[in-house]
Amino acid sequence: MSRDHDPSVVWARQARLALVIARKDAMIYYLKAPVITFGLIFPVFFFLAFAIGRAVPPDALVPGMLAMAVFFSASAVGPLITPWERQARTYERLATSPASLEAILLGDLLAAAAFGAVVSLIPLGLGLAVTPAHVVAPGRLLAGVVLGAVAFGALGVLLAARGTDAPSEVMMLSNLVRLPLIFVSGVFVPLAELPAWSQWVGFLSPLSYCVDLVRISLGETGVFPPWVSAGALVAFAAVFVALAALLHRRRRFAGT
């Protein structure tokens, strides 16, 4: 077997290409003031708009605010990368490069997850500084933030499979998916306190498991065992990426 066809060499090459694509995404799309501002300020103020006036201890607001920051920042730009590249006529160049479809999607996912995880440090720091909240389980907090960022980044990659060069269409679809999830995922009200029908819908949301892990890490009572939440986030990420690869491949084969 030649070295070029050695599976380990092929995988290593594709992994390097995925990192190159992630770096390209970060430099072109993520490391800009408007993107960082949107990814941070929008979820914080959106959360405060619903939380202010409720008789809730300040430290109880931190898990929801943190989870929302991860959710919005990790899934904000991913759905728009493909439409932007289609508009700039760079998508075809990327599609015909040595990078496989899986490497391209993985690169987009890595950039989104890293952005979401890094941005989440800001609301976490603010929450710990200005409220009595404190971290009691750092490992579970890390799992909630990192696995949540990966799952939400994968959701963004899936939404990018819309196959259009109009960012407005993708943004509309993205908001139709993301905004309802906020209200059924235990962000504002713990999942156990929601109506029964909302709880069943919440079980189908990756955000529910991220919020639950963060709540447990900050000493609050969770709904799921930590291993269930972590496993659910990994499963959601895998399903989203698999669906994204299927849809992208179908559209590429169809020439759209």
Is the pLDDT assigned to residue 239 strictly greater than 70? yes
pLDDT tens, residue by residue, 150-165: 999 999 888 887 766 6
Query: What is the rounded CA–CA span in Å between residue 98 and residue 57?
Result: 53
Residue 26 DSSP SS3: helix
Please report the pLDDT score of residue 81 as a whole number: 77
User: Which class for 45: exposed (0-12), middle (13-18), buried (19 or more C-beta within 10 A)?
Assistant: exposed
Is the pLDDT assigned to residue 211 strictly greater than 80? yes
| Side-chain half-sphere exposure of 82, counting CA atoms within 13 A | 27
Please report the pLDDT score of residue 47 as a whole number: 67
Two structure tokens written together for 56: 């809730």
Mean pLDDT of 233-241: 95
Which of 28-32, 187-191, 249-253 shows the lowest per-residue confidence on average (mean pLDDT)?
Answer: 249-253
The answer to whether 187 and 211 are in contact (CB under 8 A) is yes
Please report the pLDDT score of residue 225 as a whole number: 92
Which of 63, 238, 246, 42 is CA-nearest to residue 155? Answer: 238
pLDDT tens, residue by residue, 128-137: 888 888 899 9
User: 229 or 57: which carries more pLDDT confidence?
Assistant: 229
- Domain boundaries defined on the chain: 3-254
Is the pLDDT assigned to residue 2 strictly greater than 60? no
Query: What is the rounded CA–CA span in Å between residue 169 and residue 224?
Result: 35
pLDDT tens, residue by residue, 57-97: 767 778 888 888 899 888 887 777 777 777 777 777 776 77
Which of 92, 34, 42, 93 is CA-nearest to residue 72? Answer: 42
Q: Name the helix (H) or strand (E) containing 90.
A: none
Which of 53-57, 235-239, 243-247 shows the lowest per-residue confidence on average (mean pLDDT)?
Answer: 53-57
In angstroms, the first-to-last Cα distance of the chain is 36
The answer to whether 69 and 120 are in contact (CB under 8 A) is yes
Residues 6+ positions from 22 with CB-CB distance below 8 Å: 106, 107, 108, 110, 111, 114
The identity of residue 210, as a single letter, is: C
Query: What is the rounded CA–CA span in Å between residue 29 and residue 27?
Result: 6
**Strand ranges inside the chain, DSSP E:** none
**Strand ranges inside 31-100, DSSP E:** none
pLDDT tens, residue by residue, 49-65: 666 666 667 677 788 88
Please report the pLDDT score of residue 216 as a whole number: 93
Residues 6+ positions from 256 with CB-CB distance below 8 Å: 163
Query: What is the rounded CA–CA span in Å between residue 43 and residue 65?
Result: 7
Sign of torsion over alpha carbons 204, 207, 209, 215: negative
Identify the band that residue 206 occupies on the pLDDT scale cut at 50, 70 and 90. very high
Is the pLDDT assigned to residue 253 strictly greater than 60? no
